[in-house]
Structure formats: structure tokens, C-alpha cells
Structure 1
Amino acid sequence: MLKSDLSVMDTVQEPETFDPVARQKTKHHQILSVQELNALNARSNWQGFLYLAGHLTIMGVSGYLWGTHLNRWEIGIPALVVYGFSFASMFAPMHECVHRTVFKNNRLNDLVGWFAGLLSFYNSTFYRRYHKWHHRYTRIPNKDPELTDLEPSNIWEYLLVMSGLLWWVDKLRGYFRMACGQFEGCPYVPEAAQKEVTRSIRLQLAVYGAGIAVSLFVGQPWFFLYWLLPLAVGQPFLRFILLAEHTGCTKDDNHLSNTRTTLTFWPIRFLMWNMPFHAEHHLYPSIPFHALPAAHQKLREHFTHVEPGYLKVNRQIIETFREHQST
């Protein structure tokens, strides 16, 4: 099989197969040539370290400004927002490392992905299995695990999703359940991987427990001020972005219409590791994050949903509530 026919995520050795590119070829014409796809598929350690260093630098500087200006809200609050979003958007490098497209070395992808998940309250070991099914069954009812999340149908549900409250509850319930070895309702986690996922989640929860213990021991609210509060502040911004990826798109296996690309400002694209080019990513999951802008230039005319900004997408989502109420 040609290299271009393989998704990078297929390198994870598990019983089930995962080949979204091959499936795409059976549903739509092959848009990119083998040569074009091979060129775009090239992974780059330099790009991976550059983005990671930039992301951590933004986190460090904004965190310093937040911590040193707690009593000066005109500086502290903007710093907290940036700091919080830099934590929440650590979801993006975790996601890219799960695809193993950030670095050439898969162990390095797994290590960086785990720590990125630790910072953003995701577990990469679990998410790798969950996300495979999302790609395999994108927008297919009763198969895509993301469709179990609430897709808002009115303004109150929309605000609830935006608050991040449902996300926190789902994460806490799910992690504690899997830490106890319970995987009911998780068909995407094969039995052979369950012990690994349980160990990974237990370790992650232990790190959080250690952070809480240190804060209590020294009598300082460090865990709250420098992780929990910032992440809670950053989550609504991440929900605002992630809701745009598939909401309002077709519920079928057509990758040209079931996923949305959203054009946005460079700082957002940087902290989200080019995830706004989401239709390109779903059509060709093997393309690394740094090559998605180039892929967009080749593919944009083929997609149903390419929108100029997250404000417009979310406004359209809200407008559908009114349309449904009037019918």
C-alpha cells in the first residue's frame, strides 16, 4: 500500500483498523495526487518544537503577568484570559500528538501528548482510542462518540455548552469511572488497551492530587490560582471554537460536507495548532498540523462549509434556534 494511503494514527498497534483516507477514496474522488499528499504528509520536528515552545512561552508570560498583578485587574484579567486559553488550547497539541503528526518519533509524540493532556485536563491515552472512532464514524449517528455530547437546540443549551460545565462533569465522571477500570459504554477502548488507559488516568489524577496536596501544605491556593481557575476561564473560549467544527454540518460520512473549516486570526490558529482547518484535517488526517494551511489552498473549493470567523459560525448556530422555534 502506498504511504499516502495510510493515516498516521494507523501506526498505533491495536486490533481494530483505522484508515479514513482509504474510506474517503471509496466515497469521494481522490482530490490530492499521491505526490501532493506525500509532500504534505512530511512530519517536521522543527515545526513541532517551534509551536510547542511558542505555546509554552505564551503560557509562561501570561501566567507571570496574572500572578504578579492579582490586584491590578486592568492587567490581571486580560492576562488571566490569555493564560487560561493557553491551558485550554493545550488540547490542540494533545490532539495532534494523538495523530502522531507533530514529531517524527512516535514516543516523543506520546510523551508530549500526555503532558499536553495533563495541562488541558484531557487524557491522551484514552483520547487516542476515542478519537479514532470519531474519525472512523464522523457524524454517523449512534457511532460517532462525539455525537453523545449535547448539540444545543436552544439558547439555554448553547450557554450551558459554552460555560464548559458539561465538559467538567463529563471529564470528572469519566476519569474516575475509568480509573476504577470501568469501561461500559466505551466500545472504542478495546479490552487489550483498558489497563493502559486505567494506569494513565490514575497517574494523571495522582499528579492533580499532588498539586492539591502541595497547595494545602504550603497554605497557598496555587493549584486553584494557576491551573483550575485559568482552565475554567479558558474553557468557554475552547468550546466556542470546537462547537464550530461539526455543528450544522451533514450527519453522514461525506467529509466534504460533515466538517467545517473556519478562517480566523493567526494567534488563534497558532494556539490551536491550525485546527481551524478542520475539514482538511478530517479529509486527510495524515497531514501534519503545520501543512494544513497549504492543504487548505488546494482543497478549500471542494468543501461545503468554509466560514470567515467563529463569531459568524456561532451566530449562525444561534439563528437556527429561532428558525426551529418559528416552524
Structure 2
Amino acid sequence: MDHVAFLRSLPPETRAALTRRPRARGVWHLARHLGAIVVCGGLIGAHAPGWPLLLPVQGVLIVFLFTLEHECTHRTPFASDWLCDAVGHVCGALILNPFLWFRYFHLAHHRWTNLPGDPELDSAKPQTRAQWLWHVSGLPLWGASLRLLARLALGTERPPYLPDRARPRAEREARVLLALLALALGSLAVSPLLLWVWLVPILLGQPVLRLYLLAEHGDCPRVADMFANTRTTFTTGLVRFLAWNMPYHVEHHVFPSVPFDKLPALHGLMRDHLRVTAPGYVAFSRAYLARRR
């Protein structure tokens, strides 16, 4: 059974239950995620004993807001479209990933997953161990993000997936993000606070997100069936919390309109049909590197 046949097999009442957006659970999850960032940032800002050890923790908490921004492109984590968009913009600002541009980038990724036309394929996956180290460092990402913001701000970024009607808004958003970044960097002349609670942490946390994201489609076949071109990774509750249940990635690609809180239920319905899985991110990384000897 491929993913299309699986979707057709779901009764209408099951579809309706799976796609019902959460009213409280999304807000509660957001409060806990942001609360952890505030508490960790507060301890760093107060220079609590051992505060340097909290820098990578703070970084992981912040960069994994990418998974929430990703969910907001689908308008699934909250019952309100307005809240989905507002949270998506804030997450994008914190990780320098413009939300409006990313929405169209990501929708194209879903339409052409692992096939020609998928914009994620424009950034080649690492094929050697040296390339893997460079990729996981996160340094190429930051350079690419700043160049993207500059192209959007200048009006020269015109990918096929960004429609003409959306481009002016995406360009304005990029200009706002660059202005905010300039203000943040300027504030360092007065206080190093943002350096320690934001800039250094996201540099230290990005490698963890790179490892996580590589598992979603890395080394998956380039075919149309979502049961084959996407990987679900079995992991801990903490990782699922940070990633808003996106380790259930096959489930998300098969039925993208299912909110994060119902992906475990969807997994229970399709687990016997999964073809590409990993028993954890360490195991995936080891296998990925073993194929590059």
C-alpha cells in the first residue's frame, strides 16, 4: 500500500478527528517551550553558577523553534490562523528564517518531496564525511540565510515557488528582519546580553538541528511514495517535545493537515506501512556516515 491508498482507506470521521486543530494543547506546548527559553536565558543573563554550560541548551531550545515555524506554515498547531502566522513570524525572526518565504518554500517541498522541483534538493546532502562535518557545523546555513535575506531585501530573490503576489510581503519581511538584526548587533555596544542569550546559543545549537533535519529525508529514495521518500525516527519524549512531534515525519508528509498533537495517533494507524525508519538520531547518524566510508 502506498501513501495515497492509505489516505483513501481512512474513514471520513477518522480524517475529521485527525485534522481537528487543538485549542489549548498548542498554546500550552508553546508556553512550555517559550518558558524554557526564558528560564534558561534568565539564568544565563544573571550569570548563575555554571551558566556557560547552559549556552548550548539555550541554543537547542531556540533553534528547534524551526519545527514550530514549520508547523505554522501549515496553520495546524493552533486553532487561530492569526496565531499561527504571528508565532511563525516570531520563530522565523529568532532563527533568521523569514516566515513568508519559508511558507512557499516548504509547500513546494511537500508538493515535490525528494523529486525534481523540491527546493530542498537545491542544497545537496553531504556525500563525504568532510562534507558532513561542514554541514553539521551549521556555518553554511548562517551564510546562506544572510544571503537569502539580502536577496529578498533587494528584490532579486525570484524562485519559481514564490508567487508574484507574495513577493512584496516577503521582501518587506526580509528588510524588517535585517533591521532587527542590525539593532541587535548594535545593542552589543551597550550590553552583551543578546550575545549570550541569543547569538552564541543559536550558533552552538544549530548542529543539533542539522543532525535532526538530515534524518528526515537523508538517503531516502527519490520516489513519489511518502512511505519511501521520508523517514520516521523513533526517539525520546524530550526530542518529540522540542520538535513538536515532527520525528513522526512520514506521518506528517502523508497527511500534512494533521496537527502535531495528533501525529502519534496517526502513527498508530500507519506504523505497519512505514518503510524507512531509524531507531534514534545517533543510530541514523552512524548509519549515514557508514555509507560514506
Aligned amino acid, residue 238 of structure 1 = L
User: CA–CA distance in 2 between the matches of 1:33 and 1:180?
Assistant: 49
In the alignment, structure 1 residue 157 sits paired with structure 2 residue 131: yes
Q: Secondary structure at the match of 2:36?
A: helix
Aligned amino acid, residue 260 of structure 1 = R
Q: CA deviation at 1:35?
A: 1.8
Counterpart in the other structure of 1:115: 90
1:204-243 alignment runs, 5 A limit: 204-216=177-189, 218=190, 220-243=191-214
User: CA–CA distance in 1 between the matches of 2:248 and 2:9?
Assistant: 16
Q: Secondary structure at the match of 1:232?
A: helix
Counterpart in the other structure of 1:12: none
Query: What is the Cα-based RMSD across aligned positions, in Å?
Result: 1.6
User: CA–CA distance in 2 between the matches of 1:80 and 1:164?
Assistant: 16
Counterpart in the other structure of 1:84: 59
In the alignment, structure 1 residue 180 sits paired with structure 2 residue 158: no
Counterpart in the other structure of 2:11: 33
Aligned amino acid, residue 22 of structure 2 = S
In the alignment, structure 1 residue 144 sits paired with structure 2 residue 118: yes
User: CA–CA distance in 2 between the matches of 1:314 and 1:165?
Assistant: 19
2:220 to 245, 249, 255: 249
Q: CA deviation at 1:165?
A: 1.0
CA contact (8 A) 1:300 1:306 kept: no
CA contact (8 A) 1:31 1:299 kept: no
State the TM-score, normalized to the length of structure 2.
0.95
User: CA–CA distance in 1 between the matches of 2:54 and 2:7?
Assistant: 47
Unaligned runs of 5+ in 2: none
Q: CA deviation at 1:301?
A: 1.2
State the TM-score, normalized to the length of structure 1.
0.86
Question: Per-residue displacement from partner, 1:166-203 (whole Å, max 9, x unpaired)?
Answer: 1111101111011111124x110011111010011111
Unaligned runs of 5+ in 1: 1-22, 323-327
Counterpart in the other structure of 1:17: none
Q: CA deviation at 1:38?
A: 1.1
Q: CA deviation at 1:212?
A: 2.0
User: CA–CA distance in 1 between the matches of 2:205 and 2:7?
Assistant: 39
1:191 to 164, 173, 178: 164
In the alignment, structure 1 residue 289 sits paired with structure 2 residue 267: no
Counterpart in the other structure of 1:317: 288
Aligned amino acid, residue 188 of structure 2 = S
User: CA–CA distance in 2 between the matches of 1:105 and 1:94?
Assistant: 15
Q: CA deviation at 1:29?
A: 6.2
Question: Per-residue displacement from partner, 1:39-76 (whole Å, max 9, x unpaired)?
Answer: 11010120111111010111112112223337x5xx32
Aligned amino acid, residue 93 of structure 1 = L
Deviates more, 1:109-118 or 1:31-40: 31-40
User: CA–CA distance in 2 between the matches of 1:34 and 1:256?
Assistant: 21
Counterpart in the other structure of 1:48: 26
Q: Secondary structure at the match of 2:145?
A: helix
